[in-house]
Amino acid sequence: MRHFAIAGLQLDLASGDNLARIVEEIRNTKKRLPWVDMMIVGELSLYGPAVESAEPMPGKAELEFCRAADECGVWLIPGSMFERAGSKIYNTAPVIDPSGKVVARYRKMFPWMPYEQGVTPGDQFCVFDVPNVGRFGLQICFDCWFPEIARTLAFMGAEVIVNTSLTNTPDRDVELAIGRATAAINQCYYFNVNGAGRMGLGRSIVCGPGGEIIYQADTNRDVFGIEIDLDVVARVRERGWHNLSQTLKSFRDSTVAFPPYQPGARSEAWDALGELRKAAPASADDQSARRDAPHLRIAKT
């Protein structure tokens, strides 16, 4: 058995410098849950969604997280932070091993456009190995809406996919469904750790390789520890969930050339979608339609 214990730190933080608070939470979690091997914090927990907070990496904050990982002897994904690299800014999550060494940095491939302005998309997938345990893959928040990322991480051998998130919009419920689907489709563990309270809606979720819910938090601050067994992933990938669908093998053996994935692929339907931009005020026709369909009145804020 390949047992591994992961703590999700769903924290209630405000925009501003949260470095000392997060490090304190890491230390307290290790005291309360000494059996935990890895800790995950939500996206942009460090300073909040403030692009002006961007700093080079390695930088002051990352070095402090490295010291905390070394002190506590845990793998640490301290959420993400805005990284300044020359003239560009990325939304970047470091992966730190128990000796305090940064073993990977993942740059968010899909900034939440058109809202996450001024952020350059990353172009490298991120997997890393925990010795004698298994391979992990990393996403950041909106990346989860693009199944191609999770599929590629599974293709690269990821048995656990971690998504560090900061969602405070009404589509959080949809992300919970996406988490279950991602786990089932890729036959892997899936950890989505969100912010809570003032910056996020919480409801972090942990799913098993059949899409089953192992744990789901509520909307408040929650620090939870989950022990998983990566041999379960190997078993499900070999035999299927409940000895049924062997999804990854079926995808591997398919000979279909999916049209959207061909180089330069375009379609009339995609071209008709228009420009990626914030929604404009509703026209008179739109307002009339909303009066007839009350469920359309919900809006993101």
**Pairing between strand 38-41 and 3-10?**
parallel
Residue keyed to tokens 């330069």: 264
**Residue 58, preceding peptide bond in cis (omega within 30° of 0):** yes
Task: Say if CB 186 and CB 248 are below 8 A apart.
Answer: yes
Average pLDDT per run of 10 along the chain, which is 301 residues long? 96 96 98 98 96 95 98 98 97 98 98 94 98 98 98 98 97 98 98 96 98 98 98 98 96 96 94 92 68 58 48
Q: How many CB atoms lie within 10 A of CB 242?
A: 8
What is the C-alpha to C-alpha distance for residues 57 and 92, in angstroms, rounded to an integer?
Answer: 9
Confidence at residue 295, expressed as pLDDT on a 0 to 100 scale:
58
| Per-domain boundaries in the chain | 3-259
Could you tell me the CATH superfamily of domain 3-259?
Carbon-nitrogen hydrolase (3.60.110.10)
| β-bridge partners, 224 | 8
Q: Considering the entire predicted model, what is its pTM?
A: 0.93
Nearest C-alpha neighbor of 45 from the set 87, 77, 85: 77
pLDDT in tens, 143-186: 999 999 999 999 999 999 999 999 999 999 999 999 999 999 99
